[in-house]
Amino acid sequence: MRGPHNIWRLIRTGATLERTGAMGVVLDAFDAPRPLRIAARALGWPFKWLGYKGDPSMPPATRALTALGPAYIKFGQVLSTRPDVVGDELAVQLRVLQDKLPPFSTALAKAEIERELEIPADTIFSEFGEPVAAASIAQVHKARIAETGETVAVKVLRPGIEKAFRKDIDAFYFAARMVELLSPSSRRLRPMEVITHFEGVVLGELDLRLESASASEFAANTVGDEGFELPQVKWSLSARRVMTLGWAEGVPMGDNAAIDAAGHDRRAISERALQLFLKHALRDGFFHADMHQGNLKVAPNGNIIAYDFGIMGHIDEYTRRVYAEILFGFIRRDYKRVAEVHFEAGYVPADRDVDEFARALRAVGEPIFGMDATRISMGRLLSYLFEVTERFGMETRTELILLQRTMVVVEGVARSLNPQMNIWEVAKPVVEDYIKQSIGPRAVARDLARTAKVMARFGPRLPGLVEAALIRQSEPTPVEKPRTGRIRSIWMVLGLTIGIGTTLVIQAVF
């Protein structure tokens, strides 16, 4: 319940933020108004001695959230995807939150497996090792299936994690409500919306069946992608609190020395990583939204292996086309077209000047294109672009923020492998190919065919629609121009008939 009993949790939170030095960082990141700063200090400073000390070697915000526990760590991870809310500097700090939590015992993990799968873990697995990774919500064990001898990764939720998260989310809602009450001006920070977004993310990750489904869908989309592979979901050994995947054997993407020792071409891998991400985002509209080095490996055959599908991004087809046209316009340095796309998509209010917007975009793009290859950054471009569009009245779009954040992460992964990479040259063929496939004449024909299929479903209902329209016309009508109404209805029926007939022809052709 979001009541006063949450005050103790907030005091402990404020005390930890104060003790670790994170209070000022957080307040500055949110550009908190004076009343809110006073209230926050009042909750934190007098009780500073009650706060957790944390790890002094970490940055203040990361140190505080790690000390406060799993729900706070996950909250920080989610906020790291929202630089529009917390600012770029704090978002960068929060991205370093990795899977470094103390693990729970293997005995407890086995008990959870037996409870979920209704079979003892020692019966299912001939080997079941100690945790190889422990995160805020779950941990992973390396195991061997007794029946087949296959090596797998078994992900198990932390015992009692659902209850712990519900309590902390409850406190977060209480805090957000207090923020709005104490400082109405802070409502522009959308605290309740931020917590609601966080709650949705967490609830999705607390059901590993959903992550299994994401992994399965991602695998189906990318089955033909050369140089890319995913561990297979073992559905018979997965449930709400347990997820079993094939074991991903390879060297960590962040270990350049190991990659070189294995004889892999780091330059080729870096280019493939960026191009694969763009393909998944543009072609499929479904992409891995947490592609840091900790979730990537290089297989013995040189393939890139991705795992951990708790955070996936989704973009509808229309938005993908808009995004591709924006990128393509920047690649060609056609700022007028980039500006027009923003207006056509409704991202920028129609009452703004398109030419003035184009000049602002030129001011963003030209300095970046003037840099040498090692300094060109697509992530920086997108960051500047959002700053400009915000000045011209563009509202924040969450799906684009997640895309931008992932782009920055993938770009960082690619540059860590090959610092000399020219991001634009690598991205250009993928974007150009998507433009040809989605905006050219073939795309128009394909869109018409899809429309035809939808419209054709009305075919069996056409006689009923015509009959209903004729019956309505035969009934007495008010004095208002009955003839005009009858003519309009007849044209409507004729138009519907012609439209459905046309779409059926198109469907037959395509």
What are the residue numbers of the active site? Answer: 290
Cβ neighbours for 477, distance < 8 A, ≥ 6 positions apart: 485
The structure tokens 């319940």 sit at 1
Cα(175)–Cα(186) distance, rounded to whole angstroms? Answer: 13
Cα(409)–Cα(416) distance, rounded to whole angstroms? Answer: 11
- Quickly list DSSP for 243-291: EEEE---SEETT-HHHHHHTT--HHHHHHHHHHHHHHIIIIISEEES--
Cα(91)–Cα(340) distance, rounded to whole angstroms? Answer: 31
Q: What are the b/e assignments for 359-394, b being 16+ CB within 10 Å?
A: ebbeebbeebeeeeeeebbbbbbbbbbbebbeebeb
Cα(148)–Cα(301) distance, rounded to whole angstroms? Answer: 24
In one letter, which amino acid is 412? G
Q: Is 352 helix (H, G, I), strand (E, B) or coil?
A: coil
Cα(229)–Cα(472) distance, rounded to whole angstroms? Answer: 60
Cα(81)–Cα(77) distance, rounded to whole angstroms? Answer: 7
Cα(359)–Cα(263) distance, rounded to whole angstroms? Answer: 47
Helix (H) or strand (E) holding 355: helix 354-369
Cβ neighbours for 163, distance < 8 A, ≥ 6 positions apart: none
Residues in the chain: 510
- What single-letter DSSP state applies at residue 233? B
